[in-house]
């Protein structure tokens, strides 16, 4: 079993805001992240696939195909977007990095079989800033 990773990036605006709360409560809990007029980040996204190398290619997964898949399914839907307003799969969800990686997993996991016989999705890691990041393993 080898673990193979591909890093992609995107940038987006968002705010942290719970619509069930008052503006004051949101400001208290989320601080400047609740700014009405949004703020934003450069996100670094790392997708890891695990499996046995295909004896014909030496690859668990062709990283060029993985890159194309991530761009088509994730990056094109979030890059230069507002995560709260523009992204269908984040509707009615808090735009935290935790929730983002869970949604990214749901999208990518069933599609990996289209590009690799041997690999399965292992983890999704998302850097919101160079000092803050999350990782999700599907459960």
The catalytic residue positions are: 33, 80, 128
Spatial CB neighbours of 120, under 8 Å, sequence gap ≥ 6: 49, 50, 51, 112
Minimum gap (Å) between residue 112 Cβ and its own copies: 16
Minimum gap (Å) between residue 20 Cβ and its own copies: 8
Complex with its own copies: residue 94 or 107, whichever CB lies closer:
94
For residue 82, the tally of other CB atoms under 10 A from its CB is 16
Q: Closest by alpha carbon to 70, among 133, 125, 129, 15?
A: 125
Contact between 116 and 62 under an 8 Å Cβ cutoff? The reply is yes
Residues in touch with its own copies (CB under 8 A): 1-9, 11-14, 16, 18, 20-21, 29-33, 35, 37-42, 53, 56-60, 62-64, 79-82, 85-86, 93-99, 101-102, 129-137, 139
């Amino acid at each position: 079993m080898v673990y193979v990773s591909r890093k992609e990036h995107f940038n987006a605006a968002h705010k942290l805001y719970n619509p069930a709360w008052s503006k004051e409560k949101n400001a208290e809990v989320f601080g400047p992240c609740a700014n009405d007029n949004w703020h934003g980040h450069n996100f670094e996204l790392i997708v890891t696939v695990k499996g046995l190398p295909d004896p014909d290619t030496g690859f668990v997964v062709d990283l060029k195909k993985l890159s194309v898949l991530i761009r088509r399914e994730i990056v094109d839907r979030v890059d230069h977007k507002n995560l709260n307003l523009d992204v269908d799969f984040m509707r009615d969800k808090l735009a935290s990095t935790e929730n983002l990686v869970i949604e990214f997993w749901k999208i990518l996991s069933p599609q990996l079989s289209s590009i690799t016989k041997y690999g399965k999705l292992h983890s999704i890691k998302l850097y919101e800033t160079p000092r803050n990041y999350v990782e999700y393993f599907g459960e």
